[in-house]
């Protein structure tokens, strides 16, 4: 092999080596690219697999693990989410080593606090893929000093001479990379792609968060609806016992952590807090009645409730024991063990009181509730307010109902008194009539007796004289007078009996009654009763009795009624009719003849008693009111307003009807329809 | 002497006829009966001035005795018949009204027939 050959060979080898080296580089580059692609793909797959927003940390950890594996030359990496409106950024810290809490929101910084952040603004505006700020020397130290007030960064004893701050953008934020040296173009490109993939994760995270928020809202609304429904169904104070299990189950379904809950209903009038407590298992634990000043907790709760603010208190085990002891001493609880749930007595607890209209919702847990959790309890409290207001309305309604009922009972008592007095009043009206009615037959009895006494003397004389024909005539006269005496004696007797019947309460026994005779009897009583009261009173009475209604000797005919009751109705109608014609008469209308007509009518299966007056009639607008209790057009003291109402009730109780027809200026007609 | 008795009680007729059986028998008194004020006016219209005395009840359905009295004293004024009112309610108000309307006498029920007879005799 000559030199030339050797040289050629060497050149070839060199060329091949060079090519090999190039190929090696190319392979390495390709490998790197493949690595990057594989890493990105892994992250993408993880991103699409995200099912809940809580997986963000896990997914992000995959991304940063991949970045770590690609050995990007960085001191730290992190995520920033922009708050466009406020030129600010949420800083999330990522530490790969901590697999549990990879993403934690560290702080919220304004972009104007330092040039490192300030430079992000124009870069984003110009749609650059990333922003970069290089700090050197003292600026590095200064940066960390500035940021130490915002971020809890590891304390730097030794500061790097140079630090490069990169922000690789995705639509809502940036992946921040801090390095000691400038990143290579390749590294920058990798970061740009990773930022885009993170953008994907973040978008997915936001979507999931939104969907979850909607789902939560639905859950919350369902829960609140249940609360409304439950409270709306409460009807008594006993039902309030149901309020704690309700609160318990809703706090559970809303995902609020707690091991004790309850309701403080605050009664400002009695200055008492009614406390309904639930045990950890959801059962009602205790119902306490605490005065506002019973202990500092109660007074604090009441104070905060008045201000409509949330109240929180932290308890150690001793506080809990003290409370239990004091409740026991006050006799509020019977069993300390049961109350404390001794086996599970908490070492420490945080008590939260969230106000609603009528009190405070109490939630106790081992740790303080987060703002979100308190927010959820607040919306529950709002629902309690609304629902409880309805419950209160109901209680008010119940109270109103009770008061109406007691008023009604009083009214009924008063009414029955009035009915009695109405009866007595009509008896009073009757008395004068009765006196007159009895007086007349008594006069006849007396007169005919006297006449008979004279006649018997004459009879003796005629017999002594032997004038037997004359004696016979006289004897006949005596006989017919005796019949008159018997007749009028019976008449008086019937009147007295009628009066007794009227004053006696109705025994409710129906009997076959001659309504013609009944109507006639009460017509006379009413007429003479009024006459006795008012001397100037007078009216023409027309009777038109349907004889087919009379009771025959064989006991046929007649109507089955309670005679004293129907008599009272007739009396009332007559009294009204006489009152009406007297009123009209007082107007001094020429040729006016006050007339009251009573008519009976056999209408097949019905019997009618009709009372007609030619008075002024009843105005149309009050015609439908005349049967209402206490309705009267008579001056105060003249009528109870119960007469027609009672009459109506009596006729109805007989299965009949009382009908009124009236024409103004012409008169009024009342029809009693009775079933035969 | 013709006397018109006005009363809504039908048995008044029998009573009067019995009480005055002697006077009727001796044709000293001739009784005519009307059972309402209206009926009385019809009789007076048809038998002008026949009755010298009218004995009228006050309490009657329709036209009362006082109405009748007023009408008689207005209409039959030359010379009007004597009208004697008889009522169960012998109170001052009724009495004064009757006197104002021109009643010649006023009796209360129950009628004492011996007193009535004396009054009638004094008229004759």
Chunk chain A into consecutive blocks of 10 residues (it has 676) and report each block's average pLDDT, rounded to whole numbers. Answer: 79 82 84 85 82 76 79 79 87 55 64 88 91 91 80 65 91 88 88 87 85 82 79 68 78 84 88 84 80 88 93 89 82 72 70 90 90 87 75 75 82 71 63 72 89 91 91 91 90 74 63 88 82 76 87 76 87 89 87 91 90 91 77 62 80 89 92 90
Helix extents (H) in A265-316: 296-306
**DSSP at A279:** -
- Partner-chain contact B63 A436, CB within 8 Å: no
Calpha distance A519→A525 (Å, rounded): 10
Q: Collapsing DSSP states into helix, strand and coil, what is residue A536?
A: coil
HEC profile of A153-192: CCCCCCCCCEEEEEEEECCCEEEEEEECCCCCHHHHHHHH
Q: Do B109 and A488 touch (CB under 8 A)?
A: no
User: Residue A358 phi/psi, 5° resolution?
Assistant: -105, 5
| B61 interfaces chain A, CB cutoff of 8 Å | yes
Rounded-to-10 torsion of CA A526, A528, A530, A532:
-150
User: Which candidate, A309, A332, A452, A444, places its Cα nearest to that of A381?
Assistant: A309
A499, two tokens: 């009066």
Is any Cβ of chain B less than 8 angstroms from the Cβ of A477?
yes
Q: Are A61 and A99 in contact (CB under 8 A)?
A: yes
Write the ipTM: 0.86
Chain B hits for A532, CB-CB cut-off 8 Å, are 89
Torsion of the alpha carbons at A95, A99, A100 and A106, rounded to the nearest 10 = 10
CA distance A264 to A362: 7
Question: Which strands make up the sheet holding A359-365, listed edge to edge?
Answer: A284-291, A272-278, A260-267, A359-365, A348-356, A311-316
Contact of A674 with A656, CB cutoff 8 Å? yes
Are B62 and A527 a contacting pair at CB < 8 A?
A: no
- Determine how β-strand A284-291 pairs with β-strand A311-316: unpaired
pLDDT for the residue numbered A431: 67
CB contact under 8 A, A480 and B94: no
Q: Check A447 against B63: CB less than 8 A apart.
A: no
Contact between B111 and A447 using a beta-carbon 8 Å cutoff: yes
DSSP track, A491-503 = HHHHHHHHHHHHH
Residues A82, A89 contacting (CB under 8 angstroms) = yes
CA distance readout (Å), B38 to A581, B32, B64, B86? 19, 14, 9, 17
- In this structure, whether the domain defined by B2-123 belongs to CATH 3.40.50.2300 is answered with yes
The backbone torsions φ and ψ at residue A610, rounded to the nearest 5 degrees and listed phi first, read -115, 125
Q: Tell me: the pLDDT tens digits for A98-144?
A: 444 445 556 788 888 888 888 999 998 899 999 999 999 889 888 88
Taking 50 as the pLDDT cut, the residues of chain B under it are: none
Count CB neighbours of A549 within 10 A: 24
Q: Are residues A446 and B110, on separate chains, in Cβ contact within 8 Å? A: yes
Q: Per the CB < 8 Å rule, is A439 touching B109? A: yes
* Cα radius of gyration (chain A): 54
H helix runs in A180-295, sequence order: 185-232, 243-253
Question: Cβ of A451 and B15 within 8 Å?
Answer: yes
| Mutation target vs A (from B5, B18, B93; most A CBs, 10 A cutoff) | B18
CA nearest A480 in B: which residue? B14
| Beta strands in A476-539, from DSSP E residues, in sequence order | 511-513
Tell me the sheet residues that pair with A166. Answer: A132, A177
- DSSP for A412-449? HHHHHHHHHHHHHHHHHHHHHHHHHHHHHHHHHHHHHH
Q: Mind telling me how many Å the CA of B22 is from chain A's nearest CA?
A: 11
Question: Which residue in A455, A484, A535 is closest to B93 by CB distance?
Answer: A535
* Residues A178/A163, Cβ–Cβ less than 8 Å: yes
Show me where the domains of chain B are located. Answer: 2-123
* Chain B residues close to A449, C-beta within 8 Å: none
Torsion of CA A158, A162, A163, A164, to 10 degrees: -170
Q: Chain A partners of B65 at a C-beta cutoff of 8 Å? A: none
Mutate to test the interface with B, among A433, A439, A440 (most CBs of B within 10 A): A440
Q: Residue A657 and residue A671: Cα distance in Å, rounded?
A: 8
Q: Name the residue facing A481 among B9, B18, B97 (closest C-beta).
A: B18
pLDDT confidence of residue B108: 85
Of A481, A532, A540, the CB nearest to B62: A540
H/E run at residue A657: strand A657-663
Q: Does A488 contact B at CB distance below 8 Å?
A: yes
Predicted local distance difference test score (pLDDT) of residue A408: 81
| Chain A, nearest residue to B113 by Cα | A447
The continuous run of DSSP H or E covering A147 comes out as: helix A138-148
CA distance B122 to chain A (A): 23
CB atoms A451 and B19 under 8 Å: yes
Nearest chain A Cα to B8, which residue?
A: A440
> Would you call A450 an interface residue with chain B, using a CB distance cutoff of 8 Å?
yes
Could you tell me which residues come within 8 angstroms of residue A140 by beta carbon, excluding any fewer than 6 positions away? A159, A160, A161, A162, A163
Instruction: Name residues whose C-beta falls within 8 Å of residue A573's C-beta, 6 or more positions apart in sequence.
Output: A611, A647, A670, A672
A57 touches B at CB < 8 Å: no
Q: Tell me phi and psi for residue A629, to 5 degrees.
A: -60, 145
What's the pLDDT score for residue B3?
92
Identify any residues that bridge with A286 across adjacent strands, giving them in sequence order. Answer: A277
- Is A448 in CB contact (< 8 Å) with chain B? yes
Residue B115, chain A, CB below 8 Å: the answer is no
């Amino acid at each position: 092999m000559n030199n030339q050959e050797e040289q050629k060979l060497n050149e070839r080898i060199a060329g091949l080596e060079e090519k090999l080296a190039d190929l090696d580089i190319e392979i390495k580059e390709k490998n790197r690219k493949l690595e990057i692609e594989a890493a990105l793909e892994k992250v993408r797959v993880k991103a699409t697999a995200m099912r809940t927003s809580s997986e963000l940390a896990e997914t992000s950890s995959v991304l940063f693990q991949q970045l770590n594996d690609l050995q990007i030359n960085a001191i730290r990496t992190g995520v920033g989410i922009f708050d466009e409106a406020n030129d600010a950024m949420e800083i999330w810290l990522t530490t790969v080593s901590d697999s549990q809490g990879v993403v934690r929101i560290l702080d919220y910084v304004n972009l104007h606090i330092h040039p490192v952040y300030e430079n992000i603004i124009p870069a984003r505006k110009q749609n650059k893929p990333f922003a970069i700020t290089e700090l050197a020397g003292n600026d590095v130290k200064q940066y960390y000093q500035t940021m130490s007030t915002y971020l809890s960064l590891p304390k730097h004893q030794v500061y790097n001479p140079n630090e490069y701050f990169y922000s690789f953008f995705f639509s809502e934020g940036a992946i921040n990379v801090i390095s000691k040296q400038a990143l290579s173009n390749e590294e920058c490109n990798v970061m740009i792609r990773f930022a885009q993939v993170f953008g994907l994760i973040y978008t997915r995270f936001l979507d999931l968060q939104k969907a979850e928020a909607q789902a939560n809202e639905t859950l919350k609304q369902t829960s609140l609806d249940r609360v409304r429904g439950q409270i709306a169904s409460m009807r008594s104070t006993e039902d309030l016992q149901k309020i704690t299990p309700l609160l318990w189950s809703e706090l559970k379904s809303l995902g609020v952590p707690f091991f004790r809950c309850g309701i403080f209903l605050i009664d400002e009038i009695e200055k008492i807090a009614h406390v309904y407590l639930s045990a950890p298992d959801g059962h009602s634990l205790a119902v306490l009645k605490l005065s506002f000043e019973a202990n500092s907790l109660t007074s604090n709760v009441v104070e905060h409730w008045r201000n409509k603010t949330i109240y929180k208190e932290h308890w150690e085990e001793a506080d809990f024991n003290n409370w239990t002891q004091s409740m026991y001493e006050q006799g509020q609880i019977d069993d300390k063990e049961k109350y404390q749930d001794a086996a599970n007595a908490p070492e420490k607890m945080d008590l939260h009181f969230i106000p609603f209209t009528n009190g405070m919702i109490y939630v106790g847990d081992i740790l303080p509730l987060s703002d979100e959790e308190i927010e959820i309890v607040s919306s529950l409290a709002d629902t309690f307010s609304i629902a409880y207001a309805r419950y209160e309305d109901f209680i008010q309604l119940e109270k109103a109902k009770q008061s109406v009922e007691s008023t009604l009972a009083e009214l009924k008592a008063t009414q029955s008194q009035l009915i009695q007095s109405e009866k007595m009043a009509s008896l009073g009206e009757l008395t004068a009539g009765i006196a007159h009615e009895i007086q007349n037959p008594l006069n006849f009895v007396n007169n005919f007796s006297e006449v008979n006494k004279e006649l018997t003397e004459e009879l003796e004389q005629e017999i002594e004289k032997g004038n037997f024909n004359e004696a016979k005539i006289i004897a006949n006269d005596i006989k017919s007078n005796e019949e008159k005496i018997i007749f009028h004696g019976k008449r008086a007797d019937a009147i007295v009996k009628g009066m007794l019947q009227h004053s006696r309460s109705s025994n409710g026994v129906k009997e076959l009654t001659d309504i013609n005779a009944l109507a006639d009897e009460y017509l006379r009583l009413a007429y003479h009763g009024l006459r006795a009261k008012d001397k100037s009173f007078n009216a023409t009475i027309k009777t038109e009795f349907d004889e087919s209604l009379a009771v025959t000797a064989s006991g046929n005919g007649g109507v089955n009624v309670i005679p004293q009751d129907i008599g009272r109705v007739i009396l009332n109608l007559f009294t009204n009719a006489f009152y009406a014609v007297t009123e009209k008469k007082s107007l001094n209308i020429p040729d006016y003849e006050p007339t009251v007509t009573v008519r009976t009518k056999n209408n097949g299966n019905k019997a009618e008693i009709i009372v007609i007056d030619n008075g002024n009639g009843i105005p149309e607008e009050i015609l439908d009111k005349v049967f209402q209790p206490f309705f009267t057009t008579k001056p105060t003291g003249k009528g109870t307003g119960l007469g027609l109402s009672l009459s109506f009730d009596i006729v109805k109780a007989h299965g009949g009807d009382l009908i009124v027809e009236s024409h103004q200026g012409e008169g009024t007609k009342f029809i009693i329809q009775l079933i035969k | 002497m013709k006397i018109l008795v006005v009363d809504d009680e039908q048995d008044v007729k029998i009573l009067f006829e019995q009480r005055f059986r002697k006077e009727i028998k001796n044709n000293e008194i001739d009784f005519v009966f009307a059972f309402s004020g209206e009926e009385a006016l019809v009789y007076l219209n048809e038998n002008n001035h026949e009755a010298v005395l009218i004995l009228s009840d006050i309490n009657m359905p329709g036209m009362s005795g006082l109405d009748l009295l007023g009408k008689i004293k207005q209409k039959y004024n030359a010379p009007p018949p004597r009208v004697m009112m008889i009522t169960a309610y012998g109170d001052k108000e009724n009495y004064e009204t009757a006197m104002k309307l021109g009643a010649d006498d006023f009796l209360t029920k129950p009628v004492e027939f011996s007193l009535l007879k004396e009054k009638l005799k004094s008229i004759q």
